[in-house]
Amino acid sequence: MSAKAFDAIVIGAGQAGPPLVGRLEAAGMSVALIERKFIGGTCVNTGCMPTKTMVASAYAAHLARRAADYGVALSGPVGVDYQRIKARKDKVTNDARGNLESWIAGMKGCALYLGHARFESADTVRVGDDLLIAPKIFLNTGGRASVPDLPGVHDIPYLTNSSMMDLDVLPSHLIVVGGSYISLEFAQMFRRFGSEVTVIEKAPRLTGREDEDVSAAIQSILENEDIAVHVGAYDIGFARKGNEIAVTFSAGKPPAVGSHVLLALGRVPNTDDLGLDKAGVKVDQRGYIVVDDQLRTSVPGIWAMGDCNGKGAFTHTSYNDYEIVAANLLDNDPRKVSDRIEAYALYIDPPLGRCGMTEAAVKKSGRRALVGQRPMTRVGRAVEKGETQGFMKILADADTGEILGCSVLGPGGDEAIHCVLDLMYAKAPISTLARAMHIHPNVSELLPTIAQELKPLT
């Protein structure tokens, strides 16, 4: 069989793939786009869009239950219709995926192949019966939930973040194994839907990459909603118990027994079945594709973007990967991965917005630093909304005034963080933030006040 020739092949239709195809096609190139399952990748199908749609439903239920706090009287108890919640989530996902599919279908220079791509050489890829060849190949294959070989795990019907999206019944008791970002979003969401929820985390605290005060505040927020949290758990195991599932942990502790178990124990890259060895593409010990600062792999003519390269595990880092590749390839603009500042959010309620360095990282760096902090109980907008859990914290270099990092755990934290993030990209000193006039009333308006009250970090 002769290979079909293209100017470029893009493997994976997640956040980086389709926009890159659009740029390449607009530049006059013929492009083959290969996707093994759903256009849109994790974000559209099992990640950001469906989960945040469900988070919105969970918030509505939570706020309705608090109606009396705002002087609003309801005629009866608040309940949820999980089938309607799921239908709303499915519509948002299907609409987004449909829009992407229509956009791709309208590209005359793009040929879409649905199937599993495997390298046969550095410039040749097989998809089913089709053999494709191109001088430029871009990998955007994403990642999937990690399922460690814990005792009994394969004897139970566990859920992952993906299969949770197909769940059509509301768990009576959801046991979440893992205490990081994905797990905590699901934990709070399903608690607000009415499920009993237990979180089991092997580390000594939740969200271990955050500062200890942030982790403690997050745990407090969850426990205030009657979510049972167990940290420092060891010897985690699973067993069926009649129609339920028992999760054992930490000798002497009673097992958690529930109707459903969600495993949220990290992610692994989708690189193990691509035939990368036939192309000569190097991967690291965890399976991530090794790339340089402009996302080039060890093989000339092959790039890797998104979750499969280990340079970030977020939709926004994947999209930024596309921007970096396109800028270098098409715009003569030498953008680099190292130019970007770490930034992300945890979408519990209230959300956490984070950018730059943590307090622990600043201390480890040895630089002299300043820190400012304010609880949401002293933020007028939070008080007015009746949402006063959390706090804000800013870090700056004591000698240069450089803004080093920021955490905003509170109402609108995922939006407010960009006030600081954009200043960091502009390389503006902390004094610029301190002198800014923000709109009142707003959570963000207290950021300049905090910047005026910095004290030495000890």
CATH topology of domain 153-265: FAD/NAD(P)-binding domain (3.50.50)
- Rounded distance between C-alpha atoms, residue 63 and residue 452, angstroms: 34
Catalytic residue, candidates 154, 418, 438, 440 = 440
- Rounded distance between C-alpha atoms, residue 106 and residue 102, angstroms: 6
pLDDT tens digits, 166-218: 999 999 999 999 999 999 999 999 999 999 999 999 999 999 999 999 999 99
pLDDT band per the 50, 70, 90 thresholds, residue 395: very high
What pLDDT, on the 0 to 100 scale, is given for residue 2? 83
Share of the chain above pLDDT 90, in %: 98
Share of the chain above pLDDT 70, in %: 100
pLDDT tens digits, 342-352: 999 999 999 99
**Beta strand 403-409 with 391-397: parallel, antiparallel or unpaired?**
antiparallel
Q: Is the pLDDT of residue 227 over 80?
A: yes
Alpha-carbon distance values, 89 to 81, 92, 96 (Å): 13, 5, 11
The CATH number assigned to the domain with range 4-144+268-339 reads 3.50.50.60
pLDDT tens digits, 12-27: 999 999 999 999 999 9
Mean pLDDT, all residues of the chain: 97
State both tokens at 152: 């009994």
pLDDT tens digits, 69-94: 999 999 999 999 999 999 999 999 99
pLDDT tens digits, 264-286: 999 999 999 999 999 999 999 99
Nearest residue to 385 via CA among 80, 78, 59:
59
pLDDT tens digits, 410-430: 999 999 999 999 999 999 999
Nearest residue to 373 via CA among 410, 418, 343:
410
> What count of Cα atoms within 13 Å lies in the side-chain half-sphere of residue 220?
12
What pLDDT, on the 0 to 100 scale, is given for residue 1? 65
Is 154 one of the annotated active-site residues of the chain? no
pLDDT tens digits, 308-321: 999 988 999 999 99
Q: What is the mean pLDDT of residues 352-363?
A: 98
- State the span(s) of the chain assigned CATH 3.30.390.30: 344-453
State both tokens at 97: 């995926």
Q: Is the pLDDT of residue 293 over 90?
A: yes
With beta carbons less than 8 A apart as the criterion, state whether 275 and 120 touch. yes
Q: Does domain 344-453 have CATH number 3.90.1150.10?
A: no
- State the span(s) of the chain assigned CATH 3.50.50.60: 4-144+268-339, 153-265
What pLDDT, on the 0 to 100 scale, is given for residue 404? 98
